[in-house]
Amino acid sequence: MSNVSAHHKIAMSHEVDPKQALLDELGDISEIELLNTNVLVAVYIRPEKTKGGIIMTDKARDEDRYQSKVGLIIKTGPTAFVESDGKWFNGLNLKVGDWVVFRPSDGWNITVNGVLCRMFDDAIIKGRIPHPDSVY
């Protein structure tokens, strides 16, 4: 039995870049408009296999639909991450194409072109990460 703690990054096996895979699956979203500080995030669902060859069960992967803490910003409202005093985001400019972390229960679940997404207020996003497998 493995004694891998939750603090270790699980390296997943990606046949294609996960960002490009999500964008391809979403297709054209150019006509979607968000209001104010809303942020639309495509939820990251881990692939079936780890780099070490472990096959994840369907149940474990399905749990990502409810508990995934990682997503890709795919749309932002016109005032998302914009502030007049420079104190809230402290100059951090999150944008479309960034991988972000969030508390799953803070978002509103919606499906866009068959892709599970969550809608957030910009201040609910907790941070930016370099790759979706960086956190779990």
CB atoms within 10 A of CB 76: 20
Residue in the block written with tokens 């370099």:
130
In a domain, 84, yes or no: yes
pLDDT (0 to 100) of residue 55: 75
Taking alpha carbons only, the member of 135, 128, 130, 134 closest to residue 41 is: 128
Note down the domain range covering 79.
18-134
In a domain, 7, yes or no: no
Largest CA distance in the chain: 53
83-134 pLDDT, tens digit each: 777 677 777 789 999 999 999 999 999 999 999 999 999 999 999 999 998 8
In a domain, 13, yes or no: no
Q: What does pTM read for this prediction?
A: 0.82
| DSSP-based three-state secondary structure for 111 | strand
In a domain, 10, yes or no: no
Q: Give the C-alpha separation, 74 to 96, whole Å.
A: 5
Residue 61 has pLDDT above 80, yes or no: no
pLDDT (0 to 100) of residue 5: 36
Q: How many domains does the chain have?
A: 1
- What mean pLDDT, rounded, does the chain reach? 85
- pLDDT > 90: what percent of the chain? 58
- Is 133 within 8 Å of 12 (Cβ atoms)? yes
